[in-house]
């Protein structure tokens, strides 16, 4: 199968989306859900950790009903996405995930798309918008500007802020890696509860997403991502130039809407701290009603509306 060829597969973890598509894109064979007309304005929706494509289960039909072409890929290390080579380093550094997004757009012959996400997905969307603005029609980012660097990650934070990142320090140890591997579902459920303290999700909702963590590369990608952020793991030379550019904190010039839930229990910056990083048309929206970290799944109408509003056509 070449990079321009898609394959439809039945995946039990994604039955609510229907059959998934698979396509070779860059280093990966990417599993993704698609909704809406093929000729509509493209929207790429990127999930976070530890979540999956079902964060957009209610966003996708809202956008498809407005004739958007909606693409929702499993990130590397999730669901049916696989590395094409066993020899490829299981790299979780942020620039690598952004390159994955561009490779997917290339494989699907999408020249330009609205890119939107939360958590890791928001960081990836930010990077795409900052480094490849000609490929990004608009940006929707939960928690705003999340671009950082290893050097920034090495700087100590006040104790209360460090406490919020407890799992990052746990993952820095081999005990943490083994613990996450052994208890990945329990761990993820704990993160969901902490990050969205007012979201009353049921077991079926969690289990539907948790199945994607059974990907054989999931633990390696998650652990490398957090160790890389603290400067405890090396990246790959292929991404050095991109990371150098990101370390400069580049401005984002594309039309942008940032979102924040009023009950986000995960570490996140104050909106006032990043407003100046967006030099194009920009607005921020705080979504009220006990909305936590997984904003697209907790407030799908607000998320979908932001995508539609950032579309300037």
Three-state SS for the chain is: CCCCCEEEECCHHHCCCCCEEEEEECCEEEEEEEECCCCCCEEEEECCCCCCHHHHCCHHHHHHCCCCEEEEECCCCCCCCEECCCCCCCCCCHHHHHHHHHHHHHHCCCCCEEEEECCHHHHHHHHHHHHCHHHEEEEEEECCCCCCCHHHHCCCCCHHHHHHCHHHHHHCCHHHHHHHHHCHHHHHHHHHHHHCCCCCCCHHHHHHHHHHHHCCCHHHHHHHHHHHHCCCCCCCHHHHHHHHHHHCCCCECCCEEEEEECCCCCCCCCHHHHHHHECCCEEEEEECCCCCCCHHHHCHHHHHHHHHHHCCC
At 37-93, the pLDDT tens digits run: 999 999 999 999 999 999 999 999 999 999 999 999 999 999 999 999 999 999 999
pLDDT for position 4: 44
pLDDT for position 2: 39
At 96-118, the pLDDT tens digits run: 999 999 999 999 999 999 999 99
Q: What is the mean pLDDT of residues 152-173?
A: 94
Q: How far apart are CA 220 and CA 216, in angstroms?
A: 8
pLDDT for position 8: 56
Residue 245 pLDDT > 70, yes or no? yes
The model carries a pTM of 0.95
pLDDT for position 14: 46
Q: What is the mean pLDDT of residues 204-232?
A: 97
pLDDT for position 312: 81
pLDDT for position 7: 58
pLDDT for position 313: 74
């Amino acid at each position: 199968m070449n990079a321009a060829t898609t394959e439809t597969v039945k995946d039990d973890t994604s039955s609510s989306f229907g059959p998934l598509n698979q396509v070779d894109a860059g280093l990966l064979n990417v599993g993704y859900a698609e909704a809406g007309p093929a000729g509509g304005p493209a929207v790429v929706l990127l999930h976070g950790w530890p979540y999956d494509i079902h964060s957009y289960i209610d966003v996708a039909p809202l956008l498809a009903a407005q004739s958007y072409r909606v693409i929702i890929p499993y990130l590397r290390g999730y669901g049916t996405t696989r590395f094409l080579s066993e020899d490829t380093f299981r790299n979780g550094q942020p620039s690598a995930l952004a390159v994955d997004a561009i490779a997917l757009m290339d494989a699907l012959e999408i020249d330009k798309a609205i890119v939107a996400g939360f958590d890791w997905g928001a960081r990836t969307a930010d990077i795409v918008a900052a480094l490849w603005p000609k490929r990004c029609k608009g940006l929707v980012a939960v928690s705003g500007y999340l671009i950082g660097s290893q050097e920034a990650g090495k700087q100590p934070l006040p104790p209360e802020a460090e406490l919020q990142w407890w799992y990052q320090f746990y993952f820095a140890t081999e005990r943490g890696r083994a613990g996450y591997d052994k208890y990945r579902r329990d761990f993820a459920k704990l993160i969901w509860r902490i990050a969205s303290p007012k979201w009353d999700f049921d077991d079926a909702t969690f289990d539907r997403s948790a199945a994607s963590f059974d990907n054989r590369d999931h633990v390696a990608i998650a652990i490398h991502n957090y160790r890389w952020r603290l400067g405890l793991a090396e990246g790959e030379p292929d991404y050095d130039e991109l990371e150098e550019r990101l370390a400069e904190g580049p401005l984002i010039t594309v039309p942008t809407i940032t979102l924040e839930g009023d009950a986000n229990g995960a570490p996140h910056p104050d909106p006032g701290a990043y407003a100046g990083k967006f030099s194009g048309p920009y607005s921020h929206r705080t979504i009220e009603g006990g909305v936590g970290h997984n904003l697209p799944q907790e407030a799908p109408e607000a998320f979908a509306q932001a995508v539609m509003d950032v579309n300037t056509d």
